[in-house]
Amino acid sequence: MYPDSPRPPNSGVTHEISEARERVKRLERDLAKARANLEALEAEERQFKHILAAKTPQNLSDFSTAQNITANSSLHDKLELFTQRFAGRPDAYATRWVSNKTNKAGWSPAVRGGFCTDKKLDTDLLPITPHILEHHLRGSDEGSKEFHVGIYPLTTDHQCKFLVCDFDGQTWKTDAAAFSQACSAAGISNLAEISRSGAGAHIWIFFDTWISASTARKAGSALLRKAMQISPGIKLDSYDRFFPSQDVLPVKASGRFRLGNLIALPLQGNCRRRGTTIFADPITWQPYDDQFEALARTKPATETDIRDIANEYDRYVVGPKHSTFITRRPERRELQSGLKDHNITIQRRAMLHVKTENLPSAFVTELKHRASISNPEFYRRQAQRFSTYGVPRLVTCFEHDDVDLKLPRGLAEEARQLLKKAGAKVTIRNKDNQPQNNKCRLLDNYVPNNIMLCALY
């Protein structure tokens, strides 16, 4: 071809243009299908939100639908009651899975495509629907595979419709019973559930409207503090066992943790037949004869009731009296008396040993909290919207067994003053059983940096 001859059209470019146009047409068809699917899902979600938005009455006896709901009621009525009580984040739910290879079990958010990875977006989440809850209550999905649903209590605007405290370990029955008793004493109706494992319990408190998670958790902490006065063996890590577990949604957390913690729903079909995930009397732990009747007669708490209890939590202060983080320690009536004619000996060893046999539980609980401090890492992560999973709310500096409460030695004078103020005669003795002598013995006249080391003996 000569240099001055005209160049033929670029057939390769023409072919690419044709392919691009076909690809655009295919994408437009896929987009139309996706939009139709989205509209159908949004319609179902609006219907479900309408059920959630229905305000639960403060007195179930005045509620024509809920007052007579029993195990014999229609599926529609039972689903409506179940939906009102166990209301969580409407645009997401989780399911339990078991590995066929390792038999390991876990929970994952339900997503389009069936398998959740950290790359999945919120738009991939599947909303919870009455149809999903029906499968949960039956115990299996359409393929007869076991189906257990978990919900996320904390919504995107940091509110919740219930509060749950989880108890496990060897003393789960007595601890859960004490928390239930504390709730009832405060006028808060509650429902005890035997967890899936059969070796733990959930105490459910329902609300008649959406409440700030911060307020709900503060109220739960106040009730837990009261429960510790009933059963002093309750561990302080129970403060980390609330659902929801944070005041705000951890949107900066990675993967599924950005949804907050989840809780497994009760009354799962297969578990229910095995005697777990069922509601029971918190004293005898005998299952109720009619599970839906027990759920229906549990009265949701009002926002005013929860706020009043939350305000009481300000009376409870964690940490030693002279901590720089504590500006005041309100006086509480239960600590002003109750130890008259008590002779209490504090043994001063590597730690302070206080016999708890005849010590009222209110004082045991108070001393435990004075020997603990708030964990700044928990509050830093929460404020920065990261997950607090595995980060304790309190750092505890005590040990407690069946005989002694062991406290840091620096709390000796504070413990003495607390017990004396309640009427007790307190003696602090050293390891050799001699009364404490506050004299100082000079160990060295000169040490580097002019620091004098003294020892109490």
Please compute Rg for the chain using Cα positions.
30
pLDDT attached to residue 46: 58
pLDDT attached to residue 316: 64
pLDDT tens digits along 377-390:
988 988 888 888 88
pLDDT attached to residue 6: 54
Q: How far apart are CA 130 and CA 93, in angstroms?
A: 12
3-state secondary structure of 197: coil
The secondary element (H helix, E strand) that includes residue 107 is strand 105-109
pTM value is: 0.74
pLDDT tens digits along 284-293:
999 999 999 9
pLDDT attached to residue 313: 78
Q: How far apart are CA 308 and CA 28, in angstroms?
A: 56
Find, among 192, 411, 362, 438, the residue nearest to 294 by Cα: 192
Mean pLDDT by 10 residues, the chain (457 residues): 53 79 88 77 60 42 59 94 96 92 90 69 84 94 87 96 96 96 97 96 98 96 93 89 93 82 96 97 96 96 96 71 47 69 89 89 88 88 85 88 89 89 88 55 38 29
The secondary element (H helix, E strand) that includes residue 223 is helix 213-230
**Class of CATH domain 60-313:** alpha beta
Domain boundaries along the sequence of the chain = 60-313, 317-456
- Which residues, 6 or more positions from 2, have their beta carbon under 8 angstroms from its beta carbon? none
